[in-house]
Amino acid sequence: MSDFKSKEALVVYEQARPILTHEKSLSRKIASGSEAGDILDQQMAILGIQLVTQLNVLIKTSYIYDRTNAALDKPVDTMLTLIKTLAHDQPVTLRLQNDFLFLGDSHLKVTAQQMAVATSIINTLNAWKIGGVTFSLAAGSKDLREFAALFVSLDPHTKTIGDLRDEITAREITGIELEEPRQLDVQERFGTEGNTGPNGTKDANLKLQRKMKVKNGYANVAGSVGAITQASREGGTVSFKQAKRAIQNIVDLMMDDEATVLGLTTLRCHDEYTHNHSVNVSLLSIALANRAGYPKAELADLGLAALFHDLGKSTIPIEVLNKPGEFTDEDWVVMRNHPTEGVLSLSKLRGITNLPGRMAAASFEHHMNLDFSGYPKLTVPWTVSLTGRILTIADCYDAMTSSRVYRREPMSPSKVLNMMFSKSGKAFDPVLLKLFVNCVGIIPIGSLVMLETSELAVVLKPATDKTTAERPFVRVITDPQGNPVDQGREIDLTEKDESGDFHHSIIRLIDNTEYKFDTSRYFV
Amino acid sequence: MDEPKTDGGALPIAPAKEPANPELASVKRLLALLDKTAKSSRTYGSTNPVAQKFFQQLFEGLTAHLATYSKLAFLVQRSELYFNGEAVYQSDQESSNESVAFKLYSDGIRELTFLEGLPAEDLSYLLDSLWGSLDPNEDDDDIVTRLWSKNLSTITMVTAEEIAKASTGEDVFALPTAETMKAPESSLRDLLDREQTKARKEKSLEADGSNPLGEKPAGGGAGRFKSGQVGYEISAEELASLVKEIEAESKRDNTIYLLDMLTAILASEKSPAILSKLFGLWEAALDSLSAQGKWTALDSVLGLLHAAAEVRPDLGDENKKQLTALLDNLARPERMKMIEIYLNKTPNAPTEGLPTVLLSLTPAAVPVLCTLLANLETPSHQAIIAEVLETLAKDQPDPLLRGLSDRRPRYVKNLLTILLKWNNPQFVDAIEKLVRYPDVQVRREVVRAIGIYRPNGNGIKLVAFLNDTEESVRLAALKLLVTGQYKAPYAAWSPLVSADTFIARPHSEKRAMFLAMRATSGDEAIPFFEGLFTEWSWTNRKKREELATLAAEALGKLPSSAALTALELGQKKGSATVRQACTSAIALAQRQQQLKQAAS
């Protein structure tokens, strides 16, 4: 080996080294690979950058040495350990999109010091028009060496990503896959809102776009809470950052169009595998807190806290959660522990000094009730926080209207509100409960009603004026004979004719749960 | 407007010639101004008049641009900003923290747009977020969150993550397929029929008053639905009270709140499994609080844990074991290292509560506390640990005595201070070994310690200090030796006073040495003094006369019959100067004699 080569290899290796040595605890976690359950956002970012760095070291070293050379041992071993850590539950993808690096779907923040290494990888991926490289546990030492050697032996000017893939197959490289680049015109998706059509279709388009945004927002939140709950249950890696961004988006949408967002809360939770309940509670909490006067940033804090109010359930076996039939006494004991388990899990995941107080309160107090009639029972004086009181209302409302949570048959939204009002000042904070009713409406969003025309309709949003609270906005879903109508008209029930009489009125509230009819289909 | 100049760093791309597109030219001018504003703000602070002048120019330029073109959108790349597909800003160094493009890129911002009506404070907030006060310790602090939370209507952004999510094209939103709520839309006809039948039945029951259960029809029978409820009025007082609560909740110390919660769980929880997890968490809590210097909180937690066994006598054996282990391992080396790192990293951080925390440790913690004392860099922090050791190590001084051989003078000096405060003579042997310790302050402390622990008796160890390279150390030792409380044979002095270098010592030191020698060796030193009176030399005559004069003074101050005999010899055989000195010394001795007799 020439001096030049050894020096260059040393430089490459030295570039890679400091990132991990600064994080001794993380090094230990990486060393133990499978014990990656408590790796958090910051640590994920470090691991991601380390993956970028080691990949760069591997490729650069391959330019100097043959694939079997011992000089490759160290970067290959480190890469394998990183892959073992990051991909221990599912394959991990290092992605490049519009110059930005991602680990999975999380943006990798690159510091000025790390940029030289990142640039090298970005340039390599760009040269080959590679959108991402996915590593799975199947990747071994030989695969990594062969993979790195491809970048040396093939020229991106004369070969394509397809040729690279063919070579991967030909050389029987396993556990490494290449992704095409994902491109998107920013203006197309984010810059323009609503195209003006010839027949005044602008409004309709705008509405449709907004609805699409709300749906995507809901799905993102559900996805992130699902990922974290799953990770918490299985000891995978945990990223709160995605959830935070998703909630920030929801707060924006809520401020823009509360009714459309709340409409999605009609998507009840029917199964503990889905996370609609957590998302709904978050959305309802944000709406209620917004009316209570929370500033924007605090709303997001509360929304994030609400999203993880049931994280303690991740300690309960899924067979118990989705057990058919009634819970046994033992099952109930386990269930009643989930607020406390949640606090302990969250404290462990985020660290005592890093856990937001609202997040702890949301988990600990959401079943406590204002009069402490709920659980956990405490032997010391305690004050239920504002977050806890908001969560109690939002959680109870969504749980009672859902079919599986707490083993109950679902109740119609209006029945649930009636029941809750019977406990105002006892289980529930009376002022917050009033605000909540103003928020979802006396005839709540998602309620099924019969109009005086014998048409059936679904409540879309509450009336704007509290004196006409019984006259919400509705969408007609059947004709007078009960035949479903497509894209039924939306009616403001407060509208009057020339003589001062209302155009339309509700003559009957219908308990949709009695007919097992889910109204969420009109909101999704 | 002249083309502004920038002095290096990140630069707007200079056109080869003035671009034909006025909008593009305006954008480039604005970026040059942005660069100047950022540079001056970083250098002098944002409140500096120069920085404010550039900021004002930038704001006015941007306002004028937005008034003409209504919006200004940049696409962000690693080291460039693009406007309408053209690179308008590029930094010299791709990853410079001074580059606007890199700052935005690093935080994952793909697109940044300014809209008409941009207020100065919003622009200022953006710049502050870019260059200023982000808290690196705060997980949730980033440029995206800051801009988002401010709800800026005239500055919008699109993040790379948003684009990535939107471009997956996956249909992530699907209706749940719930068995319990699966009724199809076609069932609505049947639903309507049944509801209408119910309504008719309710109406007839209502008409003949025969509703057996007294049930109210679902919303007023077949007539218009009327619940009689209106929306709820929330009074201004109720809202004000909520706002107050929100503020209080936002200002709350989250760590203290969480610790209160864990305390409530500890006091109330029955499940051994949960308690077991809780004790595991307390361990982590102690680490976190130690690592972040939250001493008062740490103190409360320790107080709580110490009281836990009393508060919860019902704890199971396993939980009791956990609690004991927790308390036994309070001072584990890793935790002490955390404290050390925090204190060295934040020398001015408050230390209120730290002494109490450390004093709650057992004497078993003395070795790690010694290590902590040795590694701390700030004197005020060292003083705290020293005070704690003074209490905890009193019955276990060995780690401190071993520490005296440490090469770090600051540490050894701190240990000496502790040992001196204990005032225990048994430590003097260990202290005396430091005669040749490299640091002068330590040696001075050793002399002081000898003075305290051996106020009289054998003075040989002190005499050894008279060869110290540092004058202050020698003088400190002499100060003790001249007291007359110590004894040292002339043999101990001889190598010092006979050395050729002795004559080169300062006059006062030589004088003190003769007095000390006379005081510690008694008449044993007289032959040496006599020699000085009678000795004749061709060289250094003046110096030798000086020594003889000092010898006469020493003998005169501490007279004895042998001393007087020696002085009389000097009076006869010495040079004129010596004779005069001996005469004065005899006179002095006689005066002292008379005074003594008068006194007796």
Question: Can you tell me whether residue A137 is helix, strand or coil?
Answer: coil
Determine contact, residues B353/B296, Cβ cutoff 8 Å.
yes
Compute mean pLDDT per 10 residues along chain A, 524 residues long, and list them.
43 38 41 40 76 91 89 90 82 87 84 85 90 92 93 89 91 91 53 44 65 74 69 61 80 83 73 70 94 91 91 83 78 90 90 90 96 94 96 92 61 86 94 92 87 91 82 91 88 89 88 81 78
- Which of the residues B188, B216, B266 would you substitute to probe the A interface, choosing the one with the greatest number of A C-beta atoms within 10 Å? B188
d(CA B232, nearest CA chain A) in Å: 6
Tally the residues of chain B: 600
Taking the C-alpha atoms of residue B475 and residue B466, their distance in angstroms, rounded to an integer, is 8
Q: Which residues pair with B73 in a beta bridge?
A: B113
Taking the C-alpha atoms of residue A130 and residue A179, their distance in angstroms, rounded to an integer, is 6
Which tens digit of pLDDT belongs to each residue from B222-271? 455 665 556 678 899 999 999 999 999 999 999 899 999 999 999 999 99
Query: Are B126 and B107 in contact, with CB atoms under 8 Å apart?
Result: no
d(CA B172, CA A524): 12
Segment B289-335, tens digit of pLDDT: 999 999 999 999 999 998 998 889 999 999 999 999 999 999 999 99
| Residues ≥6 apart with Cβ < 8 Å to A4 | none
- Please compute, for residue A509, the number of CA atoms within 13 A of its CA located in the half-sphere on the CB side: 25
ipTM above 0.85, yes or no: no
Strands B457-458 and B486-487 come out as parallel
CB A476 within 8 A of CB A484: no
Residue B120: other Cβ atoms inside 10 A: 14
Of the partner residues A386, A434, A508, the one whose CB lies closest to the CB of residue B199: A508
Distance CA A12, CA A6 (A): 10
Residue A44: which of A180, A242, A340 has the closest Cα?
Answer: A242
pLDDT of A357 reads 94
Residue A405: which residues within 8 A CB-CB, separation 6 or more?
A269, A277, A398, A399
Query: What is the DSSP annotation of A333-401?
Result: HHHHTHHHHHHHHHHHHH-TTTS-HHHHHHHHHTTT-TTS-SSS--SS-----HHHHHHHHHHHHHHHH
Question: What pLDDT is attached to residue A412?
Answer: 80
Q: Taken in order B227, B228, B234, B237, is the CA torsion positive or negative?
A: negative
Main-chain phi, psi angles of B88, to 5 degrees: -115, -5
Q: Hey, are the CB atoms on B232 and A244 less than 8 Å from each other?
A: no
Q: CB distance B180–A387 less than 8 Å?
A: no
Count residue pairs from A and B with Cβ separation < 8 A.
336
Please tell me the distance in Å from B250's CA to the nearest CA on chain A.
8
Does residue A94 contact residue A103 with C-beta atoms inside 8 Å? yes
Q: Given this model, what pLDDT does residue B84 score?
A: 87
Tokens of B518: 């006379």
> DSSP assignment of B285-329, as one string?
HHHHHHHTT-HHHHHHHHHHHHHHHHH-TT--HHHHHHHHHHHHT
The Cα–Cα gap between A347 and B260 comes to 13
Indicate yes or no: CB of A438 within 8 angstroms of CB of B234. yes
Strand A506-510's sheet: what is its strand order? A490-492, A473-476, A456-461, A448-451, A506-510
Place of tokens 């040749």: B436
Q: What are B474-516's pLDDT values in tens digits? A: 999 999 999 989 999 999 999 999 888 898 899 999 999 999 9
Q: Which range has the worst mean pLDDT, A76-85, B125-134, B210-219, B391-400? A: B210-219
| DSSP 8-state secondary structure symbol assigned to residue A215 | H
Report the residue from A97, A109, A482 with minimal CB separation from B106. A109
Facing residue for A438 by CB, picked from B232, B263, B281: B232
pLDDT attached to residue A205: 67
Q: Residue B583 contacts by C-beta under 8 Å, 6 or more apart in sequence?
A: B571
Amino acid (one-letter) located at B234: I
Contact B274, B315 (CB under 8 A): no
Secondary structure (3-state) at B12 = strand
Structure-derived torsion over alpha carbons of residues B15, B21, B25, B26, reported in degrees to the nearest 10: -170
Query: B95, B57, B90: which is closest to B74 by C-alpha?
Result: B90
Could you tell me the pTM of the whole model? 0.69
**Which residues does chain B have within 8 Å of residue A378's beta carbon, measured at their own beta carbons?**
264, 267-268
Q: Which of A176, A184, A185, A80 is nearest to A132 (CA)?
A: A176
Best residue in A507, A510, A512, A519 for a mutation probing chain B (most B CBs within 10 Å): A507
Nearest CA in chain B to A433: B232
Please state, in angstroms and rounded to a whole number, the distance separating the CA atoms of residues B10 and B53: 20
Q: How far apart are CA A394 and CA A444, in angstroms?
A: 13
